[in-house]
Amino acid sequence: MLRGLHKASSTWLGKAVMAAVMGVIAISFAIWGIGDIFRGFGRNAVATIGSTEISIEQFRQFYNDRLQQLGRQVGRPITPDEARARGLDRQLLAQLIAETTIDEQAKQLRLGIDNAEIAKRITSDPSFRGPNGQFDRQRFEQIIRQAGFTESRFIEEQRRSMLRRQLGQSVTSDLKVPATALAALNQYQNEKRAIEFVVLEAAQAGDIPVPTPEVLSKYFEERKTLFRAPEYRNITLLFVAPADLAKPDAVSDADARAYFEQRKDSFGKPEKREVRQISSSKGRRKPPRHESASQRARRLTTSPRKGS
């Protein structure tokens, strides 16, 4: 299935469209229900994406984990009021809904990660290596414990993270912006124009006398092309089709019969007869090839007749 997604998004246009679709889905889920997230703790769930429900306790744990991670990064704890003032509650809720949306899509596609692949990723992580450069079990447990994870929860989080990364790479990997778009963007952001202009007011032009007809005529002749209007042509088109002229219902039977009688010869064909003739020379004696008239007469008078 991942190969199918990657093939569908092999072009930059396909990648852009699929990325936009997934972004719209995530944003739409993020917008829904955000306004009531901290006022609606009496409900059982924060949001529902497909068949997956984000419970209040799940969001609270996700929210606290992220605040602790941010606190470790800045070197001091972040209070709930400070987090809300910075909009972290809404950002983290949007992040959780977006991740859950991708997880739901992976579930619908029946995607999964083998346990051996997850173990390979964890053991190859430089953060979990000891002084000898090999995977250190104790260091691994210490780091995930400080991050607020149990081993089973950390492994499950790694599984979901790998699936999200694979889905994201199938959509956005090797996404290249066309050179034309880059050139247009660069031109819009960085191109500059230097303009020098002089403002001339009416007073600086001085007194202009009223032009005489000769001056106007000369000015017009020198610039005649500037006053020309484009040339136009008027066309009247009459479209006549055979269906417009043919009106068989308007012809009476008498007119049709008279027209036929006047042109009867053009509607008929000459009569023809077919003759088949079979000739037979059976019972006749062939005359000699060279025979005179007297010899032929003598032969006919002396030849016996039937019935005599």
Q: Which two tokens stand for residue 28?
A: 């739409």
Closest among 24, 26, 21, 9 to 172, alpha carbons compared: 9
pLDDT at 12: 45
What is the per-residue pLDDT across 157-185, written as a single tens digit (0 to 9) for each?
A: 888 888 888 777 776 666 677 889 888 98
What is the per-residue pLDDT across 48-84, written as a single tens digit (0 to 9) for each?
A: 887 778 888 878 888 888 888 788 778 888 888 888 8
* 1-4 LR contacts (CB < 8 Å, sep 24+): 1/109, 1/110, 1/111, 2/111, 2/166, 2/167, 2/170
Angle between helices 115-123 and 151-172 (to 10 degrees): 100
Closest among 34, 139, 162, 160 to 97, alpha carbons compared: 34
What is the per-residue pLDDT across 76-133, written as a single tens digit (0 to 9) for each?
A: 888 888 888 888 888 888 888 888 888 887 878 888 888 888 888 888 888 888 888 8
Report the SS3 class of residue 53.
Answer: strand
Could you tell me where the DSSP H helices lie in the chain? Answer: 2-8, 12-31, 56-74, 80-85, 88-108, 115-123, 137-146, 151-172, 179-190, 213-222, 242-245, 253-262, 264-267, 293-302
Cα–Cα distance for residue pair 181/72, rounded to 1 Å:
41
Closest among 3, 2, 12 to 179, alpha carbons compared: 12
